[in-house]
């Protein structure tokens, strides 16, 4: 297998309402990424592009529209789409481009501008459901996640306070991220007492609606070694999609993530992920999801995650810092860009360039994950230095 490394990363600020167009956001992320490794667009062989639903930007064939923002102009440019998991999956998609031997460098760019949707981006999630069996009930995305959160809590006897701990942890971490939109020092009480959206989901359990873009430059081994003395290698990738009939599944455990993670670990030769992985960036659009995903990733025993979190195991000084970036709860959630932001975080943390929020002890192996569709898909990237 051809080794592939990350050699540059960059992102925009995550904000509620960006004045920039989707193209301009992509441009900023792509440009800062190329600047970070001293390259220009001429050095890029191809572009792997990701945005989540076209409906957000209100543009049909959004990947085409974005080419002159993402750098894909007059190059091979291909857009991948796996719902909310797109941000991390775009890295996997980029890995396909380079590991296949087809290209030496690949610029991965993900963008989302959710604020164009009026009155609120949630409206577009009404059209993600089965047009015959579900849409007539007018389900809201928050409702089905509330079902999943409830099921997860019920299965292991977790409380709303337990779930809020993840929000407290991630939002605090996010305070040190210069691009963050939503970081805050909040208490468990603040989370519990915030406005109830759909029981058990309260406002502070959820990540915000955001605009932003993030990018990573991938390079094949010989190119990567020429460009930098600290390439961050993609050691393993995995992805998996479960059935669309989510109502037939036990929502307490993400089996698709279990399989995606094992695929990545096998590729990376990891046997004991909970011991070998130094930092984890599980996908956290909701606080409970961070914990739910830690279990699916085999980074925490089922039903013991809250205990480990309370013990500080997942704190910044713990054995395995969880969401050192601040995650979606802290930094923000421009859907596809948020996943790529997590991979950018691995790049900075593993190179020791994360500044104020640098995880102590020279982390050597990190994991980023994203999740999407109808609670049914996950993509996993394991990176090491």
Partner 1 sequence: MSKRVAIVGIGYSGFRTTSTDVSYREMIYEAATKCYEDAGGIHPQSIDSFVASSEDFMEGISIADEYVPDQLGAVLKPVQSIAGDSLQGLASAMMQIKTGELDLVTASAFSKVSNLSSYENVLAYATDPVYVRPFQENPYFIAGLEMNRYLYETGTTREQCAKVVVKNRYNALKNPVAVYGSKLDLDDILSAPPLCEPLGEFDKSGHLDGAIVLLLASEDKAKELTDKPIWIEGIGWATDTPNLDSRTDTLGGALYAELAGKKAYSMAGINTPYNEIDFAEIDDTFSYKELQHLEALKLCGPGEAGELLELGSFAPAGDLPVNVSGGSLGIGYLHEANGLQKVLETVMQLRGEAGPRQLEDVETGLAFAWRGVPTTTGTAIVLSNKG
Applying CB under 8 A, which residues contact partner 1? Answer: 1-2, 21, 52-55, 58-65, 67-68, 72-83, 89, 92-93, 95-97, 99-102, 124-125, 127-128, 130-131, 238-245, 255-256, 259-260, 263, 267, 372-374, 376-377
Minimum distance from residue 292 beta carbon to partner 1 (Å): 17
CB 381 within 8 A of CB 90: no
Minimum distance from residue 298 beta carbon to partner 1 (Å): 16
Q: Which is nearer to partner 1, 254 or 330 (CB)?
A: 254
CA distance 203 to 87: 24
Q: Which is nearer to partner 1, 106 or 279 (CB)?
A: 106
Q: Are strands 211-220 and 196-198 parallel, antiparallel or unpaired?
A: unpaired
365 three-class SS? strand
Q: Which is nearer to partner 1, 64 or 189 (CB)?
A: 64
Maximum CA extent, the chain: 57
Q: Which is nearer to partner 1, 100 or 159 (CB)?
A: 100
Minimum distance from residue 353 beta carbon to partner 1 (Å): 28
Q: Which is nearer to partner 1, 64 or 353 (CB)?
A: 64
Q: Which is nearer to partner 1, 76 or 352 (CB)?
A: 76
Q: Which is nearer to partner 1, 279 or 336 (CB)?
A: 336
CA distance 222 to 229: 12
Tokens of 140: 């809201």
Non-local (6+) Cβ contacts of 81 within 8 A are 50, 51, 52
Minimum distance from residue 199 beta carbon to partner 1 (Å): 25
Looking at the DSSP bridge assignments, the partners of residue 380 are 238, 369
CA distance 131 to 108: 33
Q: Which among 88, 116, 139 is positioned nearest to 16, based on CA atoms?
A: 116
Length of the chain: 385
Q: Which is nearer to partner 1, 2 or 275 (CB)?
A: 2
Q: Which is nearer to partner 1, 55 or 299 (CB)?
A: 55
Non-local (6+) Cβ contacts of 50 within 8 A are 79, 80, 81, 86, 87, 89, 90, 93, 108, 109, 110, 111, 336, 339, 340
Minimum distance from residue 212 beta carbon to partner 1 (Å): 19
Query: At CA 329, angle to CA 325 and CA 331, rounded to 5?
Result: 45
Instruction: Please compute, for residue 43, the number of CA atoms within 13 A of its CA located in the half-sphere on the CB side.
Output: 19
DSSP string, 196-247: EEETTEEGGGBPPP-EEEEEEEEEEHHHHHHH-SS-EEEEEEEEEE--S-GG
Minimum distance from residue 314 beta carbon to partner 1 (Å): 28
Minimum distance from residue 58 beta carbon to partner 1 (Å): 6
Minimum distance from residue 293 beta carbon to partner 1 (Å): 17
Q: Which is nearer to partner 1, 252 or 319 (CB)?
A: 252
Tokens of 55: 């409906």
Minimum distance from residue 209 beta carbon to partner 1 (Å): 15
Minimum distance from residue 60 beta carbon to partner 1 (Å): 4
Phi, psi torsion values for 351, nearest 5 degrees = -85, -5
DSSP 122: G
CB 298 within 8 A of CB 260: no
């Amino acid at each position: 297998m051809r080794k592939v490394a990350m050699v540059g990363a960059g992102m925009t600020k995550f904000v509620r309402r960006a004045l920039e167009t989707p193209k301009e956001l992509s441009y900023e992320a792509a440009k800062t990424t190329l600047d970070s490794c001293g390259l220009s667009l001429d050095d890029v062989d191809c572009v792997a592009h990701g945005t989540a639903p076209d409906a957000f930007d209100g543009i049909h064939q959004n990947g085409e529209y974005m080419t002159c923002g993402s750098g894909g102009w007059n190059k091979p440019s291909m857009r991948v789409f796996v719902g909310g998991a797109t941000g991390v999956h775009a890295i996997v998609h980029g890995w396909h481009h380079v590991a296949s031997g087809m290209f030496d460098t690949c610029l991965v760019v993900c963008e989302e501008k959710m604020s164009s949707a009026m009155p609120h981006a949630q409206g577009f999630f009404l059209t993600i459901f089965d047009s015959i069996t579900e849409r007539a009930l007018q389900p809201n995305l928050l409702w089905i996640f509330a079902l999943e959160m409830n099921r997860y809590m019920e299965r292991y006897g977790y409380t709303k306070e337990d779930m809020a701990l993840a929000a407290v942890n991630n939002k605090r971490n996010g305070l040190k991220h210069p691009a963050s939109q939503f970081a805050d020092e909040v208490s468990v009480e603040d989370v519990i007492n915030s406005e109830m959206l759909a029981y058990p989901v309260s406002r502070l359990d959820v990540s915000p609606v955001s605009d932003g873009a993030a990018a990573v430059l991938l390079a094949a081994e010989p190119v990567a070694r020429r460009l930098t003395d600290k390439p961050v290698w993609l050691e393993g990738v995995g992805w998996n999609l479960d059935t669309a009939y989510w109502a037939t599944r036990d929502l307490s455990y993400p089996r698709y993530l279990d399989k995606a993670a094992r695929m990545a670990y096998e590729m990376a030769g990891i046997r004991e992920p909970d011991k070998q992985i130094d930092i984890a960036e599980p996908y956290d659009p909701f606080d409970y999801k961070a914990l739910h995903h830690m279990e699916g990733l085999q980074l925490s025993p089922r039903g013991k995650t809250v205990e480990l979190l309370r013990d500080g195991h997942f704190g910044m000084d713990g054995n395995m810092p969880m969401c050192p970036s601040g995650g979606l709860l802290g930094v923000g959630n421009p859907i596809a860009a948020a996943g790529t932001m997590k991979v950018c975080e691995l790049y900075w943390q593993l190179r020791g360039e994360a500044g104020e929020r640098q995880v102590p002890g020279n982390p050597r192996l990190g994991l980023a994950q994203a999740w999407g569709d109808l609670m049914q898909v996950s993509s996993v990237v394991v990176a090491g230095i």
